[in-house]
Structure 1
Amino acid sequence: MKIDGTTHAFGDRIDTDLLSPGAYMKGPIEEMAKHCLEAIDPEFPARSQLGDIVTAGFEFGTGSSREQAASCLLLNGIGCVLARSFARIFYRNALNLGLPVLVCPTAHEIPAGTRLVVDPLAGTATEAGGRVHSCEPIPERLMQMVAAGGLIPFLEQTRTQ
């Protein structure tokens, strides 16, 4: 499973309040997703395309443990996130919901608007110009879970086999 998309670049410490604003917690997740990252990039939800890739610096997803942070990215079409580091709970929530997230030491060097192909199993992110960024690969079993749509669909599939 390779992800081919255009990048949206963000900095360090993108927290769950930016990804899933608390003011929208009582409404439907689809409404919350319309406000994902708007505090730092008001056009992000409107500009996002299916398969796009978020790149960021350190501590992506820091803050509360709300699963909605990863869900909002998925609902905006994001195909994966590359960051220098992730908050542990966000990292696991993302994989559990079917969003590939890769630790990539040079993610912060990839500018917004870059065409990128990410191979989570190989741990590579290749720019259209040919530059290859090395990332920590996602193990095959976890990628099977991601490809199934996340933990619950994966467990349902494996239970019936």
Structure 2
Amino acid sequence: MIEGSVWKFGRDIDTDVIIAGRYCNIPDPKELAKHVFEDLDPTFASRFVPGDVIVADSNFGCGSSREVAPLCLKAAGVAAVAAPSFARIFYRNSINIGLPIFEIPDIAKFFEQGQKVRIDPATGLVTNLSTSQSFTAAPFPEFMEKIMAAGGLVNYASERLGGSKA
């Protein structure tokens, strides 16, 4: 179960806004996380509480195919991202690293900054605890559920091959 406060964003949040290109050469995810959304809000990383959730409008993660965008969100402690749609490459990169993302039509209309949210990843049920409204996310195919449960593609592949988690 995921439960936290909502950080609300608009539509077309691109990977350049999530993490500026000048930081993409930082190899340490925790260091990278210090710069998440820096050009949009320089105080975001210092105010964000690990376990909180991003709720955005459509086309989240558009722009360049920068793999560090979902990585820095996960390293910052983002528990999940809910939006009506995601850029295809961002979606896949998120699954590959085990960052839970949920597609829900018009979800941004039903949440405000700071409201409390609960997400049940097993069922896709997303509840605005501040208004008691609930929504159901589009389900993941079974193989993607297994990748997410393993914490990402590397861990999933390692488990399938009989190794240990990365």
SS in 1 for 2:105: coil
1:4-24 deviation per Cα after TM superposition (whole angstroms, max 9, x unaligned) = 111100001110111121011
Question: Which range is displaced more, 56-65 or 142-151?
Answer: 142-151
Q: What residue number does 1:97 align with?
A: 97
**Alignment pair present for 1:134 and 2:133:** no
**Alignment pair present for 1:21 and 2:23:** no
Letter of the 1:6 partner, please give it.
S
Q: TM-score under structure 2 normalisation?
A: 0.89
Unaligned runs of 5+ in 1: none
**Alignment pair present for 1:32 and 2:32:** yes
Q: What residue number does 1:86 align with?
A: 86
Q: What residue number does 1:60 align with?
A: 60
State the shift of 1:70 in Å: 0.3
State the shift of 1:141 in Å: 3.2
Q: 1:104–1:55: structure 2 CA closer, same or farther, 3 Å change rule? A: same
Is the contact between residue 30 and residue 76 of structure 2 (CA under 8 Å) also seen in structure 1? no
Query: What is the CA RMSD across the aligned residues, in angstroms?
Result: 1.6
Find the aligned partners of 1:125 and 1:140 in 2 and give their Cα distance: 19
Q: 1:140–1:121: structure 2 CA closer, same or farther, 3 Å change rule? A: farther
State the shift of 1:121 in Å: 3.1
State the shift of 1:106 in Å: 2.6
Unaligned runs of 5+ in 2: none
Question: Which range is displaced more, 89-98 or 107-116?
Answer: 107-116
From 136, 145, 148, the equivalent of 2:147 is: 145
Q: TM-score under structure 1 normalisation?
A: 0.91
The total of aligned residue pairs comes to 160
